[in-house]
């Protein structure tokens, strides 16, 4: 009988991360739960140990702090039981670009991009050596939409999609599956933490429905899963247009329209 891989989940104390923990525990996977709130992690771990009878470790960490991030990287490099990384930890942005402080920008970028990238980079060599492993990066449809007015947050989520696609091209031949999950607005605590009144927003997806849809994509080995997208062909068209653009870029000379003044 094969042993299911352990799943390390960041941002696991609530919302999307906690729901991923519940779902994987029900499937029989051991867990390593990572978040800042140790008390909430311990409570979740105790409940899931009792309900699912699986091994669960708690690893409190603030991934914007270098020492904490390094500790999680070490766990990913050294613990051969871990075969799935759910890169879920993230924060939202309140206010427009002019309202952002240097500190808020640093923290947002550190968590949404730097920590996610470093954790994936920490585990990928071991996965490649084993010839198997999965990395799930939680992005957002806001990464498509500068019109939403969350410029820095959206840019970090566009980064997550690009990184995931690039990782797939590099790592799939090594046996590593990389999934980008792009939610729309989901009812989690991320909004309260950003100082955004959830009651001013509409069309929220419930977190259970979001994670269940993402796991359907995971089981199908989709590279990009967009749970709220009803017309799948729209993503195919967008990606096809991007690839067509690349085929039309000729680097030797400037395009004719730029070769003379109007």
Kindly state whether residue 237 falls inside one of the protein's structural domains. no
Kindly state whether residue 1 falls inside one of the protein's structural domains. no
Kindly state whether residue 252 falls inside one of the protein's structural domains. no
Instruction: Decide: residue 82, CB within 10 A, 0-12 exposed, 13-18 middle, 19+ buried.
Output: buried
pLDDT number for residue 189: 58
Q: Is 153 designated active site?
A: yes
pLDDT number for residue 92: 84
Give me 43's structure tokens: 């409570």
Kindly state whether residue 123 falls inside one of the protein's structural domains. yes
Cβ atoms within 10 A of the Cβ of 159, count? 19
N-term to C-term CA, the chain: 72
Kindly state whether residue 21 falls inside one of the protein's structural domains. yes
pLDDT number for residue 173: 98
Q: Domain containing 36: what range?
A: 6-231
The domain that holds 100 is classified in CATH as 3.40.50.720
Sequential pLDDT tens for the chain (262 residues): 469 999 999 999 999 999 999 999 999 999 999 999 999 999 999 999 999 999 999 999 999 999 999 999 999 999 999 999 999 999 888 788 999 999 999 999 999 999 999 999 999 999 999 999 999 999 999 999 888 888 999 999 999 999 999 999 999 999 999 999 999 866 555 556 555 566 666 667 889 999 999 999 999 999 999 999 999 999 999 999 999 998 888 778 888 888 887 6
Kindly state whether residue 238 falls inside one of the protein's structural domains. no
Give how many domains the chain has, as a whole number: 1
Kindly state whether residue 155 falls inside one of the protein's structural domains. yes
pLDDT number for residue 1: 46
Kindly state whether residue 242 falls inside one of the protein's structural domains. no
- pTM value is 0.92
**What string of DSSP letters covers the chain?**
-PPPPEEEEESTTSHHHHHHHHHHHHTT--EEEEES-HHHHHHHHHHHHHHH---EEEEE--TTSHHHHHHHHHHHHH-TTEEEEEE-------S-GGG--HHHHHHHHIIIIIIHHHHHHHHHHHHHHHT-EEEEEE--GGGG-GGGS-HHHHHHHHHHHHHHHHHHHHHGGGTEEEEEE---SB-STHHHHTT--GGG---PBPHHHHHHHHHHHHHHT-SEE-TT-S-HHHHHHHHHHHHHHHHT--SSS--GGGSS--
The active-site residue out of 20, 153, 177, 258 is 153
């Amino acid at each position: 009988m094969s042993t299911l891989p352990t799943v390390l989940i960041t941002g696991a104390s609530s919302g999307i991360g906690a729901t991923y923990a519940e779902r994987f525990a029900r499937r029989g996977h051991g867990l390593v739960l990572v978040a800042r709130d140790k008390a909430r992690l311990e409570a979740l771990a105790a409940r899931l140990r009792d309900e699912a009878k699986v091994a669960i470790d708690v690893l409190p960490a603030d991934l914007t702090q270098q020492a904490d991030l390094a500790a999680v990287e070490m766990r990913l490099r050294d613990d051969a039981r871990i075969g799935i990384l759910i890169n879920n930890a993230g924060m939202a942005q309140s206010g427009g670009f002019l309202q952002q402080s240097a500190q808020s920008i640093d923290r947002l970028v550190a968590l949404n991009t730097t920590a996610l990238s470093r954790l994936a980079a920490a585990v990928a060599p071991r996965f490649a050596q084993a010839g198997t492993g999965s990395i799930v990066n939680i992005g957002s449809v806001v990464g498509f939409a500068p019109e939403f007015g969350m410029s820095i947050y959206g840019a970090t989520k566009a980064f997550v999609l690009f990184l995931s696609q690039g990782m797939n091209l590099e790592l799939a031949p090594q046996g590593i599956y990389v999934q980008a999950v792009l939610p729309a607005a989901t009812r989690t605590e991320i909004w309260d933490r950003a100082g955004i009144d959830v009651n001013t927003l509409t069309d929220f997806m419930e977190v259970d429905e979001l994670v269940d849809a993402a796991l359907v994509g995971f089981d199908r080995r989709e590279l990009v899963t967009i749970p709220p997208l009803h017309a799948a062909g729209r993503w195919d068209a967008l990606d096809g247009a991007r690839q067509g653009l690349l085929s039309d870029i000729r680097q030797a000379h400037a395009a004719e329209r730029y070769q003379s003044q109007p």
